[in-house]
Amino acid sequence: MQQNSLMKSTLVYCVLFVAAAMSVMLYYAATKTVGVTDLAQDEVIRPTVQKDNSAPAVPTGENGIVINRSALNTNYFCIPMPESVKAEEVVLENHYMDKELWVCISTEQPKNYEAFYREGSVYGNCENVTDGRFETEKERICLRFALNGVYEYRSIFEDHTLYVEFVSSKEVYEKIIVIDPGYGGEEQGITADGVLSKNITLDIAKALKTMFDESDIKVYYTRMDDSNPAVADRVELAAATKADMMIRIEVSGDENSKLYGTSAVYNSKFFIPGFGNVELADLLEREVVTSISGKACGLVESTQEDQVVNSATVPAAAIRVGYLTNGQEAILLQREDYIRRIAEGIYNAVVKAYEQREE
C-alpha cells in the first residue's frame, strides 16, 4: 500500500515537472528564439515597380522610422518588435540592388503595428543605415532600411528584439559571381516578330539560378524581373560584393539575317593578371557553343557601347547567345530546352574558371 502511494506521488511529481518544463520551453521559444528567415533579392517575388532614380531609396514622411544614433557598445543594429511577434513571423529580405534591408513581419492585421513603429525607434550600430520607413501590405508590415552599401546579415531574435549584424559578402561566401541579364524595362534589346531580347536574357538567368542554387557558388543577379538597373548600379554590385567575376548575358542582331552563332565580348584595355577578361570570354564562348552544339563566332573586343564590360573592375565578359534576327536561331532562343542548354554552358564555364584560378 505504501509502495503504491509512493508510485502515485512519483507520477504526480513527474507530470508536474514535465508541465513546468514545457511551460519554460514555450516561454523561451516565444521570447528567446535565435535566427530568422533570410531571403536574397532573387528569392523575393514582388510586382514590378519602375524605379524613380531621382527619389530617395527610402522616402521620409509620416511612415518614417526614428533611428536613435546614440553611441552604444554593440555590433548589432537593434530593431524592437511588438510582444506578439514570433521569430517565425519575421523575414529579412536583402534587396541588394536597391541597397535596402527589408524586415517583414507577417500578421493578419499589419496596421496594428503602425503605432508601434511611429512611436518607437531603432537603435544600436546604425552606421550602415541611412534612413528607414515602414509600409503595410495585405498580410504583413515591412520595415525598409536604406543602407550605404551591399551587405549580408547575421541575425538573432531575442527578448522581443531583432539584432542584425552587417557583414561583407566575402565574410560569408568564398566564391562570388555576378550575373547581369542585359536590357530590361523600356530597354528591350534586339526585337523580332514580338520576341524581346530582355526576356531571353532573363529566362537564361532564371535557368542559371536553379543550377547555382545547388552549388557552393554565391550568385548576385543585377535583375530578376523586368527592371532596368543603371549601368553604374550593375557594375557597382560586382565591386561591392568583391565578386570573382561578372558575366553579362546579351542577344545579337544584324541587318544580315543570315548571320548566326555565339560570341563573347571582353575589355582588352583593362588587364587583369592571371585569369582575366579574355580568359573568361574564351571559356564562356567555348562552353556555351559546346553545350548547344552551335557555331562559334569568336571573341570580340568591347566597343564604347559595351559599358558594363568596359566599366567592370573584376574579370568580366558578355556572352552573346545568338542572333534574334536569324529566323532559325530566333526559334531556338524561344525554346525552354535550348535556354537550359545555354545556361548549362555558362554554368560549366564558371566551374572551369574556378578550377583555372586554383591551379
* Tens digits of pLDDT across the chain (359 residues): 445 554 445 544 444 444 444 443 444 444 444 568 888 999 987 654 444 444 444 445 679 999 999 867 788 999 999 999 999 999 999 999 999 999 999 999 999 999 999 999 999 999 999 999 999 988 999 999 999 999 999 999 999 999 999 999 999 999 999 999 999 999 999 999 999 999 999 999 999 999 999 999 999 999 999 999 999 999 999 999 999 999 999 999 999 999 999 999 999 988 878 889 999 999 999 999 999 999 999 999 999 999 999 999 999 999 999 999 999 999 999 999 999 999 999 999 999 999 988 77
Q: Which residues contact 239 (CB under 8 A, 6 or more apart)?
A: 313, 314
Q: Is 296 within 8 Å of 334 (Cβ atoms)?
A: no
Grid cell digits, residue 92: 529579412
Domains annotated on the chain, with CATH: 33-167 (no CATH), 171-358 (3.40.630.40)
> What's the burial of 143, exposed, middle or buried (CB within 10 Å: 0-12/13-18/19+)?
buried
Q: Give the model's pLDDT for residue 61.
A: 64
- The pTM of this model reads 0.86
Considering only CA atoms, which of 281, 294, 276 is closest in space to residue 341? 294
Q: Whose grid coordinates read 557555331?
A: 295
- The pLDDT value given to residue 275: 87
Q: At what angle do helices 336-358 and 197-212 cross, to 10 degrees?
A: 60
Burial 78-94 (b: 16+ CB within 10 A, else e): bbbbeeebbbebbbbbb
Cβ–Cβ < 8 Å for 221, 181? yes
Distance CA(237)–CA(243), nearest Å, equals 8
Determine the pLDDT at residue 151: 98
What was the pLDDT predicted at 56?
A: 45
Query: What was the pLDDT predicted at 17?
Result: 47
d(CA 31, CA 329): 59
Q: What cell does 76 get?
A: 548589432
d(Cα 106, Cα 88) in Å, to the nearest integer? 9
189: left (phi over 0), alpha (psi -120 to 50) or beta: left
Specify the pLDDT at position 152.
Answer: 97
Q: What is the pLDDT of residue 306?
A: 97
For residue 210, how many other CB atoms are within 10 A of its CB?
A: 11
